């Protein structure tokens, strides 16, 4: 087997481990905790179907790729809950190390391409990054809403914390923020879930 | 919320159930059974990284989408093991019903688009379908190989059965078939796993 193909397959096998990284979000139907790989799948598919609602025109292939790879670093760094202030302090450093190790399994050009894509996502500036983040925020909100806000209640999350994260959803899609996210958060505040 | 957005979100929530459809393949490291959603994520990412090895030029966005949606019908129809002759007899009928019900949750244009994409994948004729199928065949082979062929041993699968499926991998990528698939199968025959 040629070296390039071998490197690609080594990476493909390594990222299988992402299926063992579990998030705080639970599946619909009050199911088990969700893992990073299925979360990424869900986001990528939602991004494609909802792309017409992005504030700016997006390169949808790039958005889908961002969705697919954005949590690979968690294979080493673990999942950091969006409302865990202690974990968030060290998240950047842990993820930088993981990024270097894992993407280095790939041929050099693909390593560079995927790291650039990951960094672009993290920078939250391009239309694609903003829309991919909107999906990263919307997807667990849909699940949590379907479970009557159980994830928030379990962690005692406040409306202020949720808005702190979800206000940025509007950077990717004003329509989704206004018609879905903001409306759902208000409903959960009324119900006492936040 | 406008009706179109509502339909899109209803579909997004419905497909969450794909995470509960488990396959016969086990995760690397002799892990648990894999589910359809994480399998689809893995395939889509592999398709992007390995696209240079496709026999024919492919529209990679289309391939990735095929990978992401190809198992959605299994939410209703269940997973049919590639080496289960009884299940394979009724698979088509079960999946046709599921396709109609699940994709009908979407706005009409998106329903038609995704059904066309699913049908194209199933037809195994376009360059994109052939390459997506190559990923559908390669991905579990990589995992099963990493587990010393345990999935084949558990089900008493024969080399003939594996070649029956994997010979079609060469329609998508002659290179991957020759340098990876065929080589690995031969190794497992030698080890007595097939």
Binning pLDDT at 50, 70 and 90, where does residue A64 land?
A: very high
For residues A96 and A103, what is the distance between their CA atoms, to the nearest angstrom? Answer: 11
Average pLDDT over residues A111-140: 98
Per-residue pLDDT of B104-145, as tens digits, reads: 999 999 999 999 999 999 999 999 999 999 999 999 999 999
**So what's the pLDDT on residue B82?**
81
Report the alpha-carbon distance of residue A32 to residue A37 in Å, rounded. 14
Tokens of A54: 């992005």
Tell me whether residues B9 and A180 touch, CB distance under 8 A: yes
Residues A164, A155: Cα–Cα separation, whole Å:
16
Q: Which of A12, A16, A42 sits opposite B27 (nearest CB)?
A: A16
Q: In sequence order, which residues have a C-beta less than 8 Å from that of residue B12 and are 6 or more positions away?
A: A42, A45, A46, A49, A50, A139, A142
State whether residue B72 is helix, strand or coil: coil
Better-scored residue on pLDDT, A153 or B87: A153
Q: What is the pLDDT of residue A86?
A: 87
**Which of B16, B42, B110 lies nearest to residue A143, judging by beta carbons?**
B16
Q: Which residues of A touch B17 (CB under 8 A)?
A: 28-29
User: Does pLDDT of A66 surpass 90?
Assistant: yes
How large is the average pLDDT for residues A170-181? 98
Its ipTM equals 0.97
Nearest CA in chain A to B66: A45
At A162 the pLDDT is 96
Residue A167: how many other CB atoms lie within 10 Å: 13
**Under 8 Å between Cβ of B193 and B110:** no
d(CA B71, CA B40) in angstroms, rounded, equals 8
Residue B65 contacts residue A60 (beta carbons within 8 Å): no
Which residues sit opposite A122 in a β-bridge? none
The strand pairing partners of B39, in sequence order, are: none
- Report pLDDT for A112: 98
Q: Output Rg (C-alpha) for chain A, integer angstroms.
A: 17
- Largest Cα–Cα distance of chain A, in whole Å? 60
Residues of A in contact with B187 (CB under 8 A): none
Q: Where do runs of H (alpha helix) occur along B51-155?
A: 60-69, 74-77, 85-103, 108-123, 127-146, 150-155
- Chain A residues with beta carbon closer than 8 angstroms to that of B29: 17
pLDDT of residue A85: 86
Chain A interface, mutation test: which of B14, B19, B145, most A Cβ atoms within 10 Å? Answer: B19
pLDDT digits (tens, 9 = 90+) for A78-125: 988 888 888 888 999 999 999 999 999 999 999 999 999 999 999 999
| Residue A164 predicted with pLDDT over 90 | yes
User: In chain A, which residues have their Cβ closer than 8 Å to the Cβ of B139?
Assistant: 12
pLDDT average, residue stretch A74-80: 92
* Predicted local distance difference test score (pLDDT) of residue A101: 98
Q: Please indicate whether, in this complex, the C-beta atoms of B31 and A9 are within 8 angstroms of each other.
A: no
Q: Look-up: residue for tokens 């995470």?
A: B19
Taking the CA of residue A65 and the nearest CA in chain B, the distance in Å comes to: 8
Residue ranges, chain B, pLDDT below 50: none
Contact map slice: B 78-97 vs A, CB within 8 A: none
- Nearest CB to A12: which of B61, B69, B142? B142
CA-nearest residue of chain A to B33?
Answer: A19
* Contact pairs from chain A to chain B, CB under 8 Å: 126
Of B28, B38, B183, the CB nearest to A37: B38
Structure token digits, residue A77: 């760094």
pLDDT value at position A156?
94
What is the separation of C-alpha B25 from the centre of its chain, rounded to a whole number of angstroms? 12
Please compute the mean of the pLDDT values over residues A60-71 and round it to a whole number: 98
Distance from CA of B162 to the nearest CA of A (A): 20
Secondary structure (3-state) at B148 = coil
Of A71, A95, A64, whose CA–CA distance to A22 is shortest?
A71
Cβ–Cβ below 8 Å for A49 and B12: yes
Cα distance between residue A156 and residue A159, in whole Å: 10
- Is the pTM for the entire model greater than 0.90? yes
């Amino acid at each position: 087997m040629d070296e390039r193909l071998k490197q690609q397959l080594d990476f493909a096998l390594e990222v299988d481990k992402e299926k063992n990284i579990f998030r705080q979000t639970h599946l619909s139907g009050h199911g088990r905790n969700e893992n990073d790989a299925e979360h990424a799948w869900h986001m990528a598919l939602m991004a494609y179907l909802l792309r017409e609602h992005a504030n700016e025109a997006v390169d949808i292939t790039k958005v889908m790729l961002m969705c697919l790879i954005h949590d690979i670093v968690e294979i080493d760094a673990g999942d950091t809950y969006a409302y865990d202030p202690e974990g968030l302090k060290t998240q950047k450093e842990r993820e930088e190390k993981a990024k270097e190790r894992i993407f280095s399994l790939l041929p050099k050009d693909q390593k560079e391409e995927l790291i650039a894509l990951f960094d672009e996502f993290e920078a939250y500036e391009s239309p694609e990054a903003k829309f991919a983040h909107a999906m990263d925020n919307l997807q667990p909100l849909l699940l949590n809403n379907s479970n009557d806000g159980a994830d928030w209640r379990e962690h005692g999350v406040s409306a202020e914390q949720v808005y702190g994260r979800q206000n940025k959803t509007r950077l990717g899609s004003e329509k989704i923020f206004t018609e879905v996210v903001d409306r759902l958060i208000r409903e959960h505040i009324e119900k006492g879930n936040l």
